[in-house]
């Protein structure tokens, strides 16, 4: 545990993924950005990722499906969904299956950052 | 004509003109000078000649001066001593002295001695005869006034002119008396002239003055010399100029014309100079011309040609990316540089054009509405992906095979009307029609197009956009259908109501039946109307009433026993209590149409119904149960000669009327029964009255309920359409808004020290994006009520949360009032917070200056009323009815969904919002909610 949290941001809108990644980067997180579920899985295979922050609706794979796929190799991966659609059955399923939080778009970045700081404490505690 | 040729011509012409001017000017000056010089020099020559001639005469005179005043001569003239002659007058003396003639004449005119010698040969020649005539005593030659009187000059003699000197013979001391005259002379002949020529170095000719046959020029000169002009100069020829002068003889008469011929050196020199000058000018001209041409060629034409070919090359390439080679720092370099900078801007603008083309292409490709271009004869030239997919094609190629004129999007696409309108008006906006897709399904579209014409004003093609309005159409259609349905229901209810009212006044059975029949006739086609009653205890069906064009007596009709299940139409209606409809009775009973007639003779005839009979025969029959309190007490039949005369709605209506008829029938029957039993009459009347009242009340209540239902239906449908639209757009907008907010967050993060203005702009972007998001949230809230999660909610806590969330503006004071014990309401706390918050914010905004906000909660029976009262501007009465309509707003900002959403939320929570307002004094909005069940 290096003390720096690694976050994988996944959104099929590249601007969304990029701006999020840039903000998290400036805030001292190690950030990876992916623009599709497949890309995200590729990164998950090769990189250390502590938190998966993913969009729900994506063309190749929705966020919950990505979570399910990721969980096969990373059972304890902290996963946060973000969505522009308040009510989505998929989201309910995801929460039932262990997804931590769902954030509504547009994201309240102050809130997101405090949330990740809290996760960081938790994750470090677990690692210890 | 090329620059080269032009320059050459101009140079040549200029040079020739210059040459001419220079040449002729020079010639004029030079020649004039030369002529003057020539004249001067000739005059000088002639003067010199005259001087030489005078010199000769002077020499002659001097010689005579040696001889005449001499004592020997003085002696000799008197004595005639031959010794003098021998010693002094030998031939040698003559030649030594250069004298040809000597004459010693005494005072008496006698020639003492006279001799003439030819100087060339030295021989003695005779004295010219003409001389003797001159030697007269007293003549000028012989008469001398005193010893010093001398005379010398030219003497013209017939034999030729002579130089003569004559002096008196005196003593050596020059004293007289004069004893005679000594004359010496010599001929002015060719020899003498040659001598003069030699002395003067001039070519000399002499002419006698009075010669009649003088050469032409001499004659001319003689005439000119007559005046005062001593010397006359005239050119003899191109090379020779002649000077003339007149020589007078000793008597002062003109005797000789002397001519001096000199070569015209000045003129010739001038001419030569002119030739050299001309030659030099030509050479200079040629050299200058060549240098100019060379310079022009090298500095201008070659480079221009290169420049031109480069420009042509660039032009033929068609791109502005090449550049001209540019060097030097002259005008051509400047031209190249200008062309290059022009190419720069051209390339720039091409790039811009390309970029904007790309943008337009992207717009075209990604547009959500269809964009097309077609020819008037129906070929599809362009169609963007949205249109291709709208029409159900995989690609444009597939779509382009379709011809609009031949195939069109028929059956419902009125292309001819479209063409007629667009060619007449040039444009069409919002043309609505239905298009057939590839798979044959129909899409409703809204089309806007314009006509593009060529230079000859002929239609070239149509360009337009197509919007798929199928969903909207369907929604509209559904709405219309719904409205129709509601209207029909209402009409039905009114009809039933009217029937009930009409029947309320009638207690006669037949009257009741007839009234029912008449009312039904107003609504549907009736050929025959039959009512049967069902006697339940006896299980018999009895015909009660029949009316077609007249009322039939049915008392003779036998009752029919209730059939087993599945038997008999009326029986079935009585058993099931459901209406039964036979749309084509003839078809159902065609097997029993044949009639048999038995004649008197016992023969049997088969007889089919005639056409007339068929027309007058029942085709549609509807059987309707007459029910009271769910029990079927009879059957009402309505028949029509038309095929399938009754719709489902008709049947529903008739069923309602049948029930009303049942009640009325029962009433009438009861009344009839009561009439027989007087004792029970009053009760029956009472009962009837109650029924009637009940009926009216029932009908009124139902009408009211229906009206409310109708209004709700209409509004909900409208809102559903709006919601559908808003919901679709709102979600999609959240993503880009999210990106904008993230981006601005990032910028603020990485530029904490940005200047104040940038920070303000960051804040502006952030604030406005939040505002946009709020609008979207309102829209979405309006579009779709989130699931209502009701629970007991404490009203004071709710009010406190709202006030925490929406703090009071500085200009507003707040007052909160509620009773000590207030039951909880049963509602979704978050939604109620939103509703109440909305009312509070509205109140803040209504109070533009200082104001007082009063929030009060009171219990009203089973409800709690939470009122929000402001002292603001109030609401004008004309706006009161529109307050809760979506998109109605009087605020500058906001889209007018707040109250609409609040109302919807309140209603979804089983509550409502009430409003009171007085313009200028303020408004009170009251949220009314139900008390939680447990606490009722």
Q: Where are the alpha helices (DSSP H) in B556-636?
A: 569-576, 585-588, 611-615
Q: Measured between beta carbons, which residues in chain B are less than 8 angstroms from residue A16?
A: 735, 738-739, 742
Angstroms from A123 CA to nearest CA on chain B: 25
Query: What does the alpha-carbon distance between residue B164 and residue B180 come to, in Å, rounded to a whole number?
Result: 16
Query: What does the alpha-carbon distance between residue B419 and residue A19 come to, in Å, rounded to a whole number?
Result: 51
By the CB < 8 Å criterion, does A60 face chain B?
A: no
Q: Select from A11, A7, A38 the least CA-distant residue to A106.
A: A11
CB neighbours of A92 closer than 8 A, spacing ≥ 6?
none
Inter-residue contact B621 to B570 (CB < 8 Å): no
Q: Measured between beta carbons, which residues in chain A are less than 8 angstroms from residue B740?
A: 106
End-to-end CA distance of chain B: 113
Angstroms from B731 CA to nearest CA on chain A: 6
| DSSP β-bridge partners for residue B839 | none
In this structure, how many other beta carbons lie within 10 angstroms of the beta carbon of residue B168?
25
Half-sphere exposure of B693 (CA within 13 A, CB side): 6
Q: What is the CA radius of gyration of chain A?
A: 13
Inter-residue contact B627 to B633 (CB < 8 Å): yes
Classify the phi-psi angles of B628: left when phi > 0, otherwise alpha if psi is within -120 to 50, otherwise beta. beta
Inter-residue contact B889 to B838 (CB < 8 Å): no
pLDDT of residue B608: 60
- In the numeric block, the tokens 């009170």 are attached to B924
pLDDT of residue B716: 67
Burial class (CB in 10 A: 0-12, 13-18, 19+), B437: middle
The minimal CB distance from B746 to the residues A22, A87, A105 is found for A22
- In the numeric block, the tokens 């006034």 are attached to B145
Task: Please give the structure tokens belonging to residue B410.
Answer: 């028929």
Inter-residue contact B71 to B171 (CB < 8 Å): yes
Angstroms from A128 CA to nearest CA on chain B: 32
Angstroms from B737 CA to nearest CA on chain A: 6
Q: Where are the alpha helices (DSSP H) in B145-238?
A: 190-200, 216-225
Angstroms from A99 CA to nearest CA on chain B: 21
Q: Measured between beta carbons, which residues in chain B are less than 8 angstroms from residue A86?
A: 780, 786
Phi, then psi, of B737 in degrees rounded to 5: -65, -40
For A113, the closest chain B residue by CA position comes to B745
- In the numeric block, the tokens 């020739």 are attached to B16
CB neighbours of B45 closer than 8 A, spacing ≥ 6?
B200, B202, B243, B260, B262
Q: Select from B569, B548, B545, B566 the least CA-distant residue to B557.
A: B545
| Cβ–Cβ gap B737/A105 under 8 Å | yes
- In the numeric block, the tokens 């020079």 are attached to B26
Phi, then psi, of A51 in degrees rounded to 5: -130, 135
| Cβ–Cβ gap B734/A105 under 8 Å | yes
Give Cα separations from B581 to B162, B544, B589, B725 (angstroms): 184, 20, 14, 43
Give Cα separations from A7 to A3, A35, B739 (angstroms): 13, 14, 18
Burial class (CB in 10 A: 0-12, 13-18, 19+), B383: buried
pLDDT of residue B592: 53
- In the numeric block, the tokens 């100069």 are attached to B233
Inter-residue contact B41 to B240 (CB < 8 Å): no
| Torsion sign (Cα): B729, B732, B734, B736 | negative
Q: Measured between beta carbons, which residues in chain A are less than 8 angstroms from residue B788?
A: none
For B772, the closest chain A residue by CA position comes to A106
DSSP helix/strand/coil, B752: coil
Inter-residue contact B273 to B30 (CB < 8 Å): yes
| Cβ–Cβ gap B734/A26 under 8 Å | no
| Cβ–Cβ gap B742/A20 under 8 Å | yes
DSSP helix/strand/coil, A48: coil
Q: Select from B651, B632, B650 the least CA-distant residue to B577.
A: B632
For B733, the closest chain A residue by CA position comes to A84
| Cβ–Cβ gap B746/A86 under 8 Å | no
| DSSP β-bridge partners for residue B461 | B452
| Cβ–Cβ gap A85/B731 under 8 Å | yes
**B407 sits in which H/E element:** none
Using CB atoms and an 8 Å cut-off, which of residues 87-116 of chain A contact chain B?
87, 105-107, 109
pLDDT of residue B672: 73
Phi, then psi, of A66 in degrees rounded to 5: -60, -40
For A25, the closest chain B residue by CA position comes to B746
DSSP helix/strand/coil, B828: coil
Query: What does the alpha-carbon distance between residue B564 and residue B707 come to, in Å, rounded to a whole number?
Result: 43
| Cβ–Cβ gap B739/A86 under 8 Å | no
Please check the confidence at residue A39 and state whether its pLDDT lies above 80: yes
pLDDT of residue B410: 55
Q: Select from B856, B826, B859 the least CA-distant residue to B840.
A: B856
Q: What is the mean pLDDT of each run of 10 residues along chain B (936 residues)?
A: 82 86 85 85 87 88 88 86 84 86 86 86 85 79 82 86 89 84 88 85 84 80 72 83 86 85 83 85 86 86 84 79 76 84 86 88 86 85 86 83 67 74 86 81 85 86 87 84 83 83 78 86 86 85 85 80 74 85 73 56 59 68 87 88 84 85 81 69 76 82 81 71 72 85 90 88 88 79 71 90 86 87 88 89 85 90 90 85 75 72 86 88 90 71
| Cβ–Cβ gap A106/B746 under 8 Å | no
pLDDT of residue B227: 59
pLDDT of residue B876: 86
DSSP helix/strand/coil, B623: strand
Burial string for B816-848 (b: 16+ CB within 10 Å, else e) reads eebeeebbbbbbbbebbbbbbbbbbebbbbbbe
Query: What does the alpha-carbon distance between residue B334 and residue B321 come to, in Å, rounded to a whole number?
Result: 19
ipTM > 0.90, yes or no: no
| DSSP β-bridge partners for residue B442 | B436
Q: Rounded mean pLDDT of A96-113?
A: 86
Task: Please give the structure tokens belonging to residue B658.
Answer: 């049948």
Q: Measured between beta carbons, which residues in chain B are less than 8 angstroms from residue A54?
A: none
Angstroms from B748 CA to nearest CA on chain A: 10
Here the contacts of B30-34 (C-beta below 8 Å, separation 24 or greater) are B30/B270, B30/B273, B30/B274, B31/B267, B31/B270, B31/B271, B31/B274, B33/B266, B33/B270, B34/B266, B34/B267, B34/B269, B34/B270
| Cβ–Cβ gap B745/A23 under 8 Å | yes
The minimal CB distance from A19 to the residues B743, B769, B787 is found for B743
Q: Select from B124, B115, B60, B59 the least CA-distant residue to B88.
A: B115
In this predicted model, which residue has the larger pLDDT, B712 or A43?
A: A43
pLDDT of residue B590: 59
| Cβ–Cβ gap B738/A22 under 8 Å | no
Q: Measured between beta carbons, which residues in chain A are less than 8 angstroms from residue B774?
A: none
By the CB < 8 Å criterion, does A19 face chain B?
A: yes
| Cβ–Cβ gap B786/A106 under 8 Å | no
The minimal CB distance from B734 to the residues A19, A26, A84 is found for A84
By the CB < 8 Å criterion, does A127 face chain B?
A: no
DSSP helix/strand/coil, B479: helix
Phi, then psi, of B332 in degrees rounded to 5: -70, -35
Query: What does the alpha-carbon distance between residue B242 and residue B221 come to, in Å, rounded to a whole number?
Result: 10
Inter-residue contact B204 to B159 (CB < 8 Å): no
Q: Select from B820, B777, B761 the least CA-distant residue to B795.
A: B820
Give the pairing type, strands B560-561 and B580-582: unpaired
Please check the confidence at residue A98 and state whether its pLDDT lies above 80: yes
Query: What does the alpha-carbon distance between residue A37 and residue B470 come to, in Å, rounded to a whole number?
Result: 34
Q: Select from A109, A111, A120, A115 the least CA-distant residue to A5.
A: A120
Query: What does the alpha-carbon distance between residue A69 and residue B715 come to, in Å, rounded to a whole number?
Result: 46
Phi, then psi, of A105 in degrees rounded to 5: -85, 145
In this structure, how many other beta carbons lie within 10 angstroms of the beta carbon of residue B610?
9
Query: What does the alpha-carbon distance between residue B113 and residue B82 come to, in Å, rounded to a whole number?
Result: 10
How many residues are present in chain B? 936
């Amino acid at each position: 545990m290096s003390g720096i949290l690694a976050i994988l941001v996944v959104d099929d809108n590249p601007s969304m993924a990029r701006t999020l990644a840039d903000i998290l980067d400036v805030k001292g997180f190690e950030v990876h950005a992916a623009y599709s579920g497949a890309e995200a899985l590729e990164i998950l295979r090769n990189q250390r990722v502590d938190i998966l922050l993913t969009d729900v609706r994506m063309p190749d794979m929705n966020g919950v499906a990505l979570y399910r796929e990721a969980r096969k190799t990373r059972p304890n991966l902290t996963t946060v969904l973000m969505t522009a659609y308040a009510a989505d059955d998929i989201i309910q399923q995801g929460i039932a299956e262990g997804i931590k939080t769902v954030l509504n778009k547009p994201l309240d970045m102050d809130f997101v950052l405090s949330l990740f700081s809290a996760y960081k404490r938790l994750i470090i505690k677990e690692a210890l | 004509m090329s620059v080269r040729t032009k320059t050459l011509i101009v140079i040549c012409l200029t040079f020739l003109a210059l040459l001419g001017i220079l040449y002729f000017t020079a010639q004029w000056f030079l020649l004039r000078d030369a002529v003057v010089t020539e004249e001067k020099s000739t005059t000088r020559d002639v003067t010199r000649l005259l001087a030489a001639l005078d010199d000769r005469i002077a020499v002659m005179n001097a010689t005579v001066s040696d001889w005449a005043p001499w004592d020997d001569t003085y002696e000799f003239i008197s004595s005639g001593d031959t010794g003098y002659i021998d010693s002094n007058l030998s031939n040698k003396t003559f030649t030594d002295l250069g004298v040809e003639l000597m004459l010693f004449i005494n005072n008496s005119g006698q020639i003492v001695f006279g001799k003439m010698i030819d100087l060339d040969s030295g021989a003695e020649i005779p004295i010219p005869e003409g001389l003797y005539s001159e030697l007269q005593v007293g003549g000028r030659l012989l008469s001398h006034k005193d010893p010093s009187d001398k005379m010398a000059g030219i003497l013209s003699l017939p034999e030729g002119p002579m130089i003569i000197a004559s002096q008196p013979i005196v003593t050596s001391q020059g004293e007289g008396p004069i004893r005679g005259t000594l004359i010496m002379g010599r001929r002015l002949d060719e020899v003498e002239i040659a001598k003069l020529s030699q002395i003067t170095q001039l070519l000399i000719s002499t002419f006698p003055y009075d010669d009649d046959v003088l050469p032409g020029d001499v004659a001319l000169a003689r005439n000119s010399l007559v005046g005062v002009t001593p010397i006359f100069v005239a050119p003899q020829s191109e090379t020779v100029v002649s000077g003339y002068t007149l020589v007078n003889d000793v008597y002062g008469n003109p005797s000789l014309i002397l001519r001096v011929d000199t070569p015209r050196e000045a003129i010739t020199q001038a001419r030569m100079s002119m030739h050299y000058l001309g030659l030099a000018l030509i050479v200079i001209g040629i050299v200058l011309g060549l240098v100019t041409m060379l310079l022009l060629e090298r500095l201008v034409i070659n480079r221009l040609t290169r420049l031109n070919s480069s420009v042509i090359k660039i032009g033929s390439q068609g791109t502005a990316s090449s550049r001209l080679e540019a060097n030097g720092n002259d005008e051509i370099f400047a031209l190249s540089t200008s062309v290059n900078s022009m190419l720069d801007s051209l390339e720039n603008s091409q790039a811009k054009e390309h970029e904007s083309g790309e943008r337009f292409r992207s717009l075209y490709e990604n547009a959500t509405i269809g964009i097309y271009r077609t020819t008037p004869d129906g070929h599809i030239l362009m169609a963007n992906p949205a249109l291709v997919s709208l029409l159900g094609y995989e690609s444009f190629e597939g779509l382009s095979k379709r011809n609009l004129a031949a195939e069109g999007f028929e059956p419902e696409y009125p292309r001819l009307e479209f063409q007629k309108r667009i060619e007449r008006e040039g444009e069409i906006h919002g043309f609505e029609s239905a298009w057939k897709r590839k798979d044959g399904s129909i899409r409703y579209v809204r089309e806007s197009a314009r006509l593009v014409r060529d230079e000859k004003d002929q239609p070239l093609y149509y360009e337009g956009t197509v919007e798929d309005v199928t969903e909207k159409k369907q929604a509209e259609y559904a709405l219309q259908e719904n409205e129709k349905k509601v209207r029909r229901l209402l009409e039905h209810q009114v009809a039933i109501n009217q029937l009930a009212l009409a029947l309320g006044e009638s207690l006669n059975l037949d009257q009741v039946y007839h009234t029912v029949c008449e009312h039904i006739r107003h609504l549907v086609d009736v050929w025959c109307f039959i009512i049967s009653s069902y006697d339940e205890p006896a299980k018999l069906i009895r015909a009660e009433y029949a009316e077609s064009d007249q009322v039939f007596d049915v008392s003779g009709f036998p009752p029919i026993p209730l059939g087993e299940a599945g038997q008999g139409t009326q029986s079935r209606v009585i058993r099931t209590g459901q209406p039964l409809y036979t749309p084509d009775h003839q078809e159902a009973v065609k097997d029993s149409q044949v009639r048999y007639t038995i004649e008197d003779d016992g023969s049997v005839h088969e007889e089919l119904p005639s056409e007339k009979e068929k027309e007058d025969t029942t085709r549609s029959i509807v059987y309707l149960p007459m029910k009271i309190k769910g029990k079927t007490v009879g059957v009402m039949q309505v028949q029509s000669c038309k095929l399938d005369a009754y719709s489902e709605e008709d049947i529903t209506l008739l069923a309602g009327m049948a029930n009303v008829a049942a009640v009325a029938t029962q009433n009438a029957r009861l009344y009839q029964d009561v009439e027989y039993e007087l004792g029970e009459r009053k009760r029956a009347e009472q009962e009837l009255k109650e029924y009637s009242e009940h009926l009216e009340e029932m009908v009124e209540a139902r009408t009211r309920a229906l009206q409310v239902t109708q209004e709700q239906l209409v509004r909900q449908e409208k809102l559903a359409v709006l919601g559908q639209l808003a919901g679709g757009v709102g979600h999609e907008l959240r993503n880009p808004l999210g990106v904008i907010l993230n981006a601005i967050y990032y910028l603020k993060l990485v530029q904490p020290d940005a200047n104040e203005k940038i920070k303000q702009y960051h804040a502006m972007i952030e604030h406005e994006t939040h505002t946009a998001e709020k609008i979207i949230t309102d829209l979405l809230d309006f579009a779709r009520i989130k699931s209502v999660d009701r629970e007991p909610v404490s009203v004071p806590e709710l009010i406190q949360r709202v006030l925490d969330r929406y703090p009071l503006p500085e200009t507003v004071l707040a007052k909160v009032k509620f009773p000590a014990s207030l039951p909880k309401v049963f509602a979704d706390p978050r939604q109620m917070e939103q509703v109440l918050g909305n009312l509070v914010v509205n109140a803040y905004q209504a109070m533009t200056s200082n104001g007082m906000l009063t929030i009060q909660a009171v219990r009203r029976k089973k409800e709690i009323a939470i009122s929000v009262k402001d002292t603001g501007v109030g609401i004008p009465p004309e706006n009161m009815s529109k307050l809760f309509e979506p998109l109605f707003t009087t605020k500058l900002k906001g889209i007018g969904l707040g109250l609409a959403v609040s109302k919807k939320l309140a209603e979804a929570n089983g509550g409502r919002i009430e409003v009171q307002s007085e313009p200028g004094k303020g408004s009170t909005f009251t949220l009314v909610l139900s008390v939680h069940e447990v606490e009722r």
